[in-house]
């Protein structure tokens, strides 16, 4: 979900460093005491207005046809899903008051009654059917709802969903914002422009949107749940990381998305600002292109795993912001049960020699610039430990557009890749490690992995599926399918006056209890 | 004169065609598939193919180009791959901001640059001349994203005088306060060029016979400089200032990004990273057209300043 639109990070970082060096020389404090009059937010009454600076604009608020992580971020404030993940990590009731799984392919839902869309029309089973069918047809929702066979409303508050095949993590996919229920009247009225005129049942409603500039959301007075404390949320799109941070320093905005990680230390000790850092279910790993003749050999991959210690990468390179990963599945998605082989340079050299490379080899390492927290810097920090076992790494850093296109053609050798944003282990593992998956950029093929993936979704219960995914996660480590480095963190910087600003492990906002004093 | 303008405008058409072909080819050579980018890592080949079809990216390249031309003639620049908003609408929304910023920057560059050029020419070798030379050298070599950040840091964060970024809420006071920092930041390079040029051009003129004549007639020094020197010294400056203005319009991308100024430059930067072809094409054509028109205007002003120049 991290934006690919951070521009020219190298030169910018130097410039920023110089700026702060100059500031340090002049002995000036890093935060202003006299904020300009433009800062209207802090003078608002209890609850008040929260102004958030984000890195990119939203592309559409038609959730069935969402196009970016940012769409989900704002969409989740406007729309509700049938079920929603609670803090316990389990699907909890949301628009569905209760549900029953009759058999592996049949689910019955009872809707909450008396819920109204923001356009005033009532929520009913027909509206749910219409939205889920739209989502299943959308280019983007297809991968989440392909398993739905038919949806049958029995009356206004009851509906049955039949699946084409058992799919154990079905409820997880219903909790994705893409399945956020939109008013059918609104869809009818606005047609192709519904993405600019959203009408959900969520805690906030959209009242103004200037493309590329800002967006205003107001509290939904008819919200069915506990009403949020905030009156208003203003989202300003500020692409440049340093400018976004300056707007916070100057007091113009209350919260900043993705502050520069090198400000973390300074933010932690600041008296005016705070660092908000919560787990984000995204894994970043060092991947192997298995179609490369060297990397296709198991001992070579195991050697690299034995040499690439994620610990210093996390503690130093990410400034302790991210969490050291063991397996591929982040702990927010599923309990982590993976054990990793120890870091052992001598053993790594032995493994390389046994594979026929006693003197090592030279290989490219593909990495994006600024898409994931400290991606390029992680690649640079990996050069030394790999050099120690004779593997010379050439870093090929590029923007995500060029990266994804080359990865799709399997041109990389080693690479650093991230995956996140849904709470379904199947989505991530299948995309990356299933032999027939188009996005299996590591060209990884192992019949056992395929068997476990297919077996898991076919289980009649989620618990049974979980056991198979845990088995697969361990198998991927044993087979050195990749080297998980860190589990991400969503990073925000905020004024101290902002309280209870919560982000969910999916990188979304929960602003129902947020206040600005 | 009318025929001259018409001819120049007609020449612009093949020029714009060449520009559009180059943009088309450049985008093909740049790695990155808009459909793959948009659908994300878990997209199926089917949905990628479907989206490429929606975008018309599965057609042969010449056909894609002809389709683009055909739509262009109808005034349709297509829709952004990302936001699905009409590109023409997006350009119409962002263009005034870019124009406003470029005009403000040019105004600052001229208002400061011309007098400074004249003064340093008259006081050649003096203290002011030396200081200006150093300052100009430093400004020309400063990357805009650094000088921009410095301005934000001191004037917005430290002093709290001006807002850090954005374009204001529509009131004149707010618009102006938001305009100052980006305009100053954008003006620095042109300002440096104009000072240097005005100074050397003025020095040339001051050595001419007609200046000596004017002086020997007993006119006051500043009358000579302003009435007789200035008009002649301005001629080369106008050409360069015109070209600079074209560059300000085209090259404001960095300034717009740093100051989050909602103009065409920032639109293009975002579009490039998401390989939003229709937006890139539309914006480049708009910038090229502006550049051609500004150049034409410069040539016309030239004729006005120097009656010896006649276009036919």
Nearest C-alpha in B relative to A403? B32
State mean pLDDT over A226-243. 91
Report the residue from A246, A252, A431 with minimal CB separation from B41.
A431
Residue from B164, B166, B176, B182 whose CB has the most chain A CBs within 10 Å, to mutate: B164
B96 CB within 8 Å of a chain A CB: no
* A212–B94 CB contact, under 8 Å: yes
Contact B200/A at CB under 8 A: no
Q: Provide the residue count of chain B.
A: 312
The helix/strand/coil state of A114 is: coil
Q: Which is it for strands A255-257 and A49-54: parallel, antiparallel or unpaired? A: parallel
Shortest Cα distance, chain B CAs vs residue A228, angstroms? 27
Q: Are A299 and A354 in contact (CB under 8 A)?
A: yes
Model pLDDT, residue A21:
40
Give the residue range(s) of CATH 3.10.105.10 domains in chain A.
280-488
Instruction: Return the H-helix or E-strand segment holding A97.
Output: strand A96-103
- CB distance B79 to B160 below 8 Å: no
Q: Hey, are the CB atoms on A242 and B43 less than 8 Å from each other?
A: no
Contacts of A399 in chain B (CB under 8 A): 32, 273
**What mean pLDDT do residues A102-123 have?**
94
pLDDT band at A351 (very low <50, low <70, confident <90, very high): very high
Q: In this model, does residue A80 exceed pLDDT 90?
A: yes
Please give the CATH number for the structural domain made up of A2-201+497-516. 3.90.76.10
The Cα A513–Cα A88 span in angstroms is 18
Q: What is the pTM of this model?
A: 0.83
Residue B65 phi, psi (nearest 5): -65, -45
Contact A143 B41 (CB under 8 A): no
| Mean pLDDT, chain A, integer | 87
Q: Do B164 and A247 touch (CB under 8 A)?
A: yes
Within 8 A of B275 by CB-CB distance, chain A residues are 401
- Residue A37 is predicted with a pLDDT of 37
Of the candidates A7, A36, A439, the beta carbon closest to that of B257 is on A7
Which residue from B50, B83, B257 is facing A240, i.e. has the nearest CB? B257
Residues of A in contact with B150 (CB under 8 A): 19, 22
Residue A258 near residue A72 (C-beta atoms within 8 A) = no
What SS3 class is residue A358?
coil
pLDDT in the model for residue A163:
94
| Model ipTM value | 0.82
Range list of β-strands (E), A352-479: 361-368, 391-398, 414-420
Q: How many CB atoms lie within 10 A of CB B233?
A: 25
Assign A10 a pLDDT band (cuts: 50, 70, 90): very low
Residues in A touching B163 (Cβ below 8 Å):
36, 38, 250, 252
pLDDT (tens digit per residue) in A156-184? 999 999 999 999 999 999 998 989 999 99
Among A208-222, B93-107, B238-252, the minimum mean pLDDT is found in B238-252
Probe site for chain B from A59, A270, A493 (most B CB atoms < 10 A):
A59
CB A105 within 8 A of CB A162: yes
**pLDDT band at residue A38 under the 50/70/90 scheme:** very low
B87-122 and B277-305 helices, crossing angle to 10°: 40
Q: Is the pLDDT of residue A15 over 80?
A: no
Residue B82 has what DSSP assignment? T
Give the whole-angstrom CA distance, residue A20 versus residue A263: 10
Count interface pairs A-B at CB distance under 8 A.
Answer: 166
CA B203 – CA B207 distance, rounded (Å): 7
- Inter-chain touch A19–B37, beta carbons under 8 Å: no
pLDDT at residue A30 tops 70: no
**Closest residue on chain B to A59 (Cα):** B83
CA distances to A95, A170, A270, B205 from A163, rounded to whole Å, are 20, 9, 53, 86
A437 CB contacts (<8 Å, ≥6 apart)? A430, A431
Distance of CA A109 to the CA centre of its chain: 28
Between residues A301 and B307, the one the model is more confident about: A301
The CATH number assigned to the domain with range A280-488 reads 3.10.105.10
- What pLDDT, on a 0 to 100 scale, did the predictor assign at position A24? 38
Dihedral angle computed from the Cα positions of residues A216, A220, A224 and A226, in that order, rounded to the nearest 10 degrees:
80
How confident is the model at residue A236, as a pLDDT? 93
Q: What is the pLDDT of residue B29?
A: 80
| Cross-chain CB nearest to A439 (options B43, B84, B158) | B43
B92 vs B282: CA distance, rounded Å = 11
- What's the Rg (C-alpha) of chain A? 24
A13 interaction partners in chain B (CB closer than 8 Å): none
pLDDT tens digit string along B11-61? Answer: 888 888 888 888 888 887 877 788 877 777 667 777 788 888 888 888 888
Which residue intervals of chain A bear CATH 3.90.76.10? Answer: 2-201+497-516
The three-point CA angle A417-A422-A428 to 5° equals: 45
Do residue A238 and residue B165 have CB atoms under 8 angstroms apart? Answer: yes
pLDDT over 70 at A29, yes or no: no
Q: What is the mean pLDDT of residues A120-133?
A: 94
Residue A25: the pLDDT is: 38
pLDDT in tens, B209-242: 887 887 788 777 777 777 777 877 888 888 888 8
Listed range (A136-150, A226-240, B93-107) with the worst mean pLDDT: A136-150
Nearest-CB residue to A143 (from B42, B177, B273): B42
Interchain proximity A401–B31, CB inside 8 Å: yes
DSSP code string of B101-159? HHHHHHHHHHHHHHHHHHHHHHTTTSHHHHHHHHHHHHHHHS-HHHHHHHHIIIIIIIS
Q: What angle do CA A202, A182, A92 make, to 5 degrees?
A: 50
């Amino acid at each position: 979900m991290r934006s690919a639109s951070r521009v020219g990070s190298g030169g910018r970082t130097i410039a920023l460093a110089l700026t702060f060096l100059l500031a340090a020389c002049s002995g000036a404090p890093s935060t202003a005491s006299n904020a300009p009059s433009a800062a209207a937010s802090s003078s608002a009454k209890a609850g008040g207005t929260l102004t958030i600076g984000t890195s990119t604009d939203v592309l559409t608020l038609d959730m069935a046809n969402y196009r970016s992580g940012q769409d989900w971020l704002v969409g989740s404030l406007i729309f509700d899903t049938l079920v929603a993940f609670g803090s316990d990590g389990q699907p909890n009731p949301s628009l569905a008051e209760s549900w029953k799984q009759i058999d592996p392919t049949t689910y019955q839902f009872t809707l909450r009654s008396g819920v109204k869309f923001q356009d005033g029309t009532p929520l009913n089973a027909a509206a749910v059917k219409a939205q889920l069918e739209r989502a299943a047809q959308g280019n983007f929702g297809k991968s989440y709802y392909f398993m739905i066979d038919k949806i049958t409303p029995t009356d206004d508050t009851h509906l049955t969903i039949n699946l084409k095949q058992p799919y154990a993590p079905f409820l997880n996919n219903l909790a994705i914002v893409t399945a956020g229920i939109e008013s059918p009247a609104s869809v009818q009225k606005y047609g192709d422009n519904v993405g600019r005129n959203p009408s959900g049942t969520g805690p906030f409603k959209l009242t103004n949107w200037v493309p590329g500039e800002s967006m205003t959301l107001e509290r939904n007075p008819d919200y069915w749940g506990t009403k949020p404390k905030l009156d208003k949320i203003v989202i300003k799109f500020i692409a440049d990381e340093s400018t976004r941070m300056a707007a916070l320093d100057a007091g113009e905005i209350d919260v900043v998305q993705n502050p520069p990680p090198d400000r973390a230390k300074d933010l932690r000790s600041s008296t005016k600002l705070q660092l908000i850092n919560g787990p984000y279910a995204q894994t970043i790993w060092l991947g192997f292109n298995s179609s490369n003749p060297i990397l296709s050999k198991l001992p070579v991959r195991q050697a690299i795993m034995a040499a690439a210690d994620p610990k210093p990468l996390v503690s130093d390179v990410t400034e302790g912001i991210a969490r050291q990963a063991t397996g591929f599945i982040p702990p927010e998605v599923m309990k982590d049960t993976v054990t990793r082989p120890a870091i052992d340079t001598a053993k790594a050299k032995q493994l390389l020699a046994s594979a026929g490379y006693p003197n090592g080899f030279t290989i490219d390492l593909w990495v994006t610039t600024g898409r994931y927290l400290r991606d390029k810097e992680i690649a640079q920090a990996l050069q030394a430990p790999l050099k120690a076992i004779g593997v010379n790494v050439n870093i090929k850093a590029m923007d995500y557009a060029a990266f994804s296109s080359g990865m799709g053609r399997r041109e990389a050798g080693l690479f650093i890749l991230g995956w996140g944003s849904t709470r379904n282990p199947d989505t991530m593992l299948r995309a990356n490690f299933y032999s027939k998956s188009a996005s299996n950029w590591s060209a990884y093929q192992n019949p056992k992995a395929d068997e476990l993936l297919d077996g898991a979704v076919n289980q009649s219960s989620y618990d049974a599926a979980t056991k198979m995914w845990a088995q697969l996660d361990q198998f991927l480590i044993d087979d050195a399918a990749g080297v998980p480095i860190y589990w991400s963190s969503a990073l925000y910087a905020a004024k101290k006056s902002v309280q209870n600003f919560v982000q969910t492990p999916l990188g979304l906002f929960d602003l129902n209890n947020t206040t600005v004093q | 004169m009318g025929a001259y303008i018409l001819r120049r405008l007609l020449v612009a058409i093949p020029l714009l065609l060449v520009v559009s072909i180059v943009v088309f080819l450049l985008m093909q050579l740049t790695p990155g598939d808009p459909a793959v980018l948009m659908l994300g890592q878990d997209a199926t080949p089917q949905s990628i193919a479907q989206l490429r079809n929606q975008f018309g990216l599965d057609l042969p390249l010449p056909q894609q180009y002809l389709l683009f031309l055909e739509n262009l003639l109808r005034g349709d620049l297509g829709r952004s791959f990302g936001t699905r908003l009409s590109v023409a609408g997006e350009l119409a929304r962002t263009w005034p901001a870019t124009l406003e910023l470029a005009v403000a920057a040019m105004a600052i560059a001229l208002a400061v640059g011309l007098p400074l050029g004249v003064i340093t020419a008259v006081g050649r070798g003096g203290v002011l001349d030396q200081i200006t030379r150093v300052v100009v050298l430093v400004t020309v070599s400063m990357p805009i994203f650094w000088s921009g950040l410095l301005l934000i840091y001191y004037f917005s964060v430290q002093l709290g005088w001006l807002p850090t970024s954005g374009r204001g809420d529509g009131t004149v006071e707010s618009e102006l306060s938001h305009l100052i920092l980006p305009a100053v930041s954008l003006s620095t390079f042109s300002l440096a060029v104009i000072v240097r040029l005005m100074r050397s051009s003025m020095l040339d003129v001051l050595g001419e016979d007609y200046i000596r004549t004017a002086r020997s007639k007993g006119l006051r020094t500043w009358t000579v400089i302003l009435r007789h020197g200035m008009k002649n010294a301005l001629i080369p400056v106008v050409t360069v200032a015109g070209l600079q203005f074209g560059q300000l319009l085209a090259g404001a991308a960095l300034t717009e990004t740093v100051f989050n100024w909602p103009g065409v430059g920032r639109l293009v930067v975002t579009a490039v990273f998401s390989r939003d072809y229709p937006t890139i094409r539309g914006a480049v054509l708009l910038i090229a057209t502006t550049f051609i028109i500004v150049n034409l205007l410069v040539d016309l002003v030239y004729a006005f300043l120097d009656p010896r120049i006649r276009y036919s």
